[in-house]
Amino acid sequence: MYSFPLFIISTAFFSTATQPAAFDVIQQMKLLWRSNIEGMVKNISSQQTMLSRDCAGDLGHIFTKYTQPGTSQAIEYFKTWSKVKNDSPSSQTTFVGAFDDCLHVVISRTEGSSFRSQYCMVTFKTGSLTLRIDICMPKVCSASDLKKIFGKMAISNAKSKDNFSIDSACKSKKKMPLDSKQYLYIPAAVVAICISATIYDITLLCIKKRRLSREDNTSCLSENSWVSYEKEKMSQTLLAFSMYNNVCTQLNSKQPSGVIACIHGIRFLSMVWVVNHHNAKSLVYSAAKTNPSYQTEVLRSLSLHTILQANTAVESFFTISGVLASYLMLRKFSKLKLTLLGFLKSLPLCYLHRYIRLTSAYAFLILVISSKLGCYLYDGPFWFDCDSYGEGCLSTWHYNLLYYNNLHMDKAKCFIWGWYLAVEMQFALIAPFLVYLLYRFHILGTIVCIMTIMASICASYYISMEIHYQFVQTSLARHAFQLTPKRGWDFYHSPWMRYKSYGVGILVGFLIFKLRQTKSHIPKGLNVLLWVVAGVLCPSVMFGTFPVSSGRHEATLFESNMFNTFSGVAWAVGLGCVILSCSNGQGGWIERFLSWKGFVVLSNISYCTYLVHQPVSQMIIYGVRDVPFFTHTVLAQKILTCLATSCLVGFIFSIFFELPFFNLNRLYLTT
């Protein structure tokens, strides 16, 4: 009666004998339904664990249909079940069925009605081993029904019943409900305004062209047309949403004088690093489903270690932010010759500018995530938690938009990767005071900045020591100590842990400002020393953890505390040396590479690409219909696909939801 599930479980988990003969899940399940479905339902009913009435009825109807000759519907139904093929690797533990075919199967009842199917997975777990098989079930059957069908069969044959569990989940084809659609009304309205503004802008262009001479004045890379065509506020407000001008703005690689050109290359490459890190982690986890040995192999490779060491890329973002905040504010203070009273009066507008800059695209993406749009656009057999995707934003969105979600990571379940934006905003609150102190009192400001950096270093050491924070977190990493988390003690997301990189950036921005103000050059010997420091510190931080992440060395608590304490500031100092040299025109070919005009365009979309990369990558990674057999080529192909798609979606998102509000900010709030 229980031959199929017992055979699967014993084969996958409990047998140490030689590999059994190849078997076909579909054929085994056909035999099960043909001979034992009625007896199974009676047996479960007698033990007061009866299937739901509708589920038992539809299953019985499928059984009846299948036993009758010429009933192709039921045959097609069973073809959607997962198969264990003859050439399946012995280590493979995940077998998926025909997801799309299952959701489209319709079984006709005798009385003329019909019922649809749902796609279900059944997961058997014992110890660290997991086996997943996917089946097609009537839509009226619940996940608990599946547990009743498979649970007794599997557990009765398990050698270790105490360490055995079974789980199940189902999903069916759904239409987007009205509750979800309402979150898209505002984004849809903005898109409609953008389309209308584009039509209006193009109309103005055509009128302008007719009135002008044959000289070409319509190039989109020239002066912003929304400023030059019409002077009225209402017209400029509408033109702020023009896709034509916003696309031209994003594709414009021209930069005003005085910018730090190398920042564009560093920002984009750091964004690529972070995005590839998240994608690689998800893909390496997926590799374990079909090729566990490859997962071990790739985690031992230096190339993947470089990608997974993306915490240093986050430090790059904070360093860049500190450099730009310091340099740009010092230029403004110097130009306006701000007094203390003038500085204090400018603070509210400064904070408002920063809030609008970060929040416009951020808020719209939270609305899109809350609608669960991705679940209805692209779904698959590996996205069973898609229905819960976005649920956190419905109740905790205020954590994100008020930028304190990083301080409540246990509660703030919306937009998890938005913790970085919260830290950025928190730094933006204190940066004006530090920079103004540097502007008015150079030595005192420098001393205060160094003291704040030292305070961050001390906080890093203390918290790392208290919670035993493990600086490498891969499946192969070995530590001679255990993590001891404490409520409210968060090492990774806390601003006081991250400030040291930002503080170094503030000092670097101050040095750049003074060098440019005095038109000074860095002495040749000192410039060489800057590159030596960068060449020692940055590779040490990046590759110093490789013996631990690859499982070749067991990390001690002392080593972990030292790395947690000094790695961030070491990386920031090394990167600061590079920025300082390149910003002064003494960076050689590295400066020319980082200052490439193409990076200006790519840097413009880096923020929105970071925002959208997680939903986009999840649809690509978890929307597949089968688990690929991973190799280096497959892994690289999927990482690049996720990156390219994220950049494209980020570009589109910036046109509709970032630049229009940036233009309005400049139009109404610039003094």
The tens digit of pLDDT for each residue in 315-343 reads 999 999 999 999 999 999 999 888 899 99
Please indicate, yes or no, if residue 490 is contained in any of the structural domains. yes
Distance CA 588, CA 577 (A): 14
CA angle centred on 368, ends 405 and 102, rounded to 5°:
115
Backbone dihedral angles phi then psi of residue 627, each to the nearest 5 degrees:
-85, 120
| Residue ranges in the chain modelled with pLDDT below 70 | 1-50, 63-76, 84-92, 109-112, 126-129, 151-164, 212-231, 288-290, 292, 385-389, 486-488, 671
Is residue 554 domain-shared with residue 411, that is, in the same domain? yes
pLDDT, position 358: 92
Please indicate, yes or no, if residue 7 is contained in any of the structural domains. no
pLDDT, position 151: 66
Phi-psi map region of 136: left, alpha, beta (phi>0 left; psi -120 to 50 alpha) = beta
Is residue 370 domain-shared with residue 307, that is, in the same domain? yes
Distance CA 627, CA 286 (A): 8
| Six token digits for residue 372 | 């669960």
Distance CA 285, CA 289 (A): 8
Distance CA 540, CA 547 (A): 12
| Six token digits for residue 170 | 């189902």
Is residue 188 domain-shared with residue 314, that is, in the same domain? no
Cβ atoms of residues 76 and 86 within 8 Å: no
pLDDT, position 6: 31
pLDDT digits (tens, 9 = 90+) for 212-258: 655 554 444 444 444 444 457 788 889 999 999 999 999 988 888 88
Contacts of 397 (CB under 8 A, 6+ apart): 366, 370, 414
Is residue 413 domain-shared with residue 484, that is, in the same domain? yes
Domain count of the fold of the chain? 3
Domain end position, chosen among 251, 271, 299: 251
Please indicate, yes or no, if residue 10 is contained in any of the structural domains. no
Is residue 335 domain-shared with residue 187, that is, in the same domain? no
Alpha helices in 584-658 (DSSP H): 588-594, 597-604, 606-622, 632-657
Kindly report the length of the chain: 671
Q: Is 553 helix (H, G, I), strand (E, B) or coil?
A: coil
Domain end position, chosen among 228, 251, 274: 251
Is residue 114 domain-shared with residue 247, that is, in the same domain? no
Domain hosting residue 458, numbered range:
261-669
Is residue 225 domain-shared with residue 344, that is, in the same domain? no
> Long-range CB contacts (< 8 A, 24+ apart) of 398-404?
400/362, 400/366, 401/359, 401/362, 401/363, 401/366, 403/358
Please indicate, yes or no, if residue 649 is contained in any of the structural domains. yes
Is residue 304 domain-shared with residue 382, that is, in the same domain? yes
What is the separation, in whole angstroms, between the first and last Cα of the chain? 81
Domain end position, chosen among 171, 205, 238: 171
pLDDT, position 18: 34
Please indicate, yes or no, if residue 3 is contained in any of the structural domains. no
Please indicate, yes or no, if residue 176 is contained in any of the structural domains. no
Distance CA 477, CA 554 (A): 7
pLDDT, position 341: 92
Q: What is the four-CA torsion angle of 89, 95, 99, 105, rounded to 10 degrees?
A: 110
Please indicate, yes or no, if residue 50 is contained in any of the structural domains. yes
Q: Angle of helix 557-583 relative to helix 524-543, nearest 10 degrees?
A: 140
Is residue 455 domain-shared with residue 515, that is, in the same domain? yes
Is residue 610 domain-shared with residue 635, that is, in the same domain? yes
The most distant pair of C-alpha atoms in the chain lies apart, rounded to whole Å, by: 93
pLDDT, position 10: 32
Is residue 194 domain-shared with residue 121, that is, in the same domain? no
Matching residue, tokens 């796609």: 119
Please indicate, yes or no, if residue 375 is contained in any of the structural domains. yes
pTM comes to: 0.85
Pairing relation of β-strands 164-171 and 478-479? unpaired
Phi-psi map region of 303: left, alpha, beta (phi>0 left; psi -120 to 50 alpha) = alpha
Cβ atoms of residues 552 and 516 within 8 Å: no
pLDDT, position 14: 34
Cβ atoms of residues 294 and 634 within 8 Å: no
Is residue 511 domain-shared with residue 586, that is, in the same domain? yes
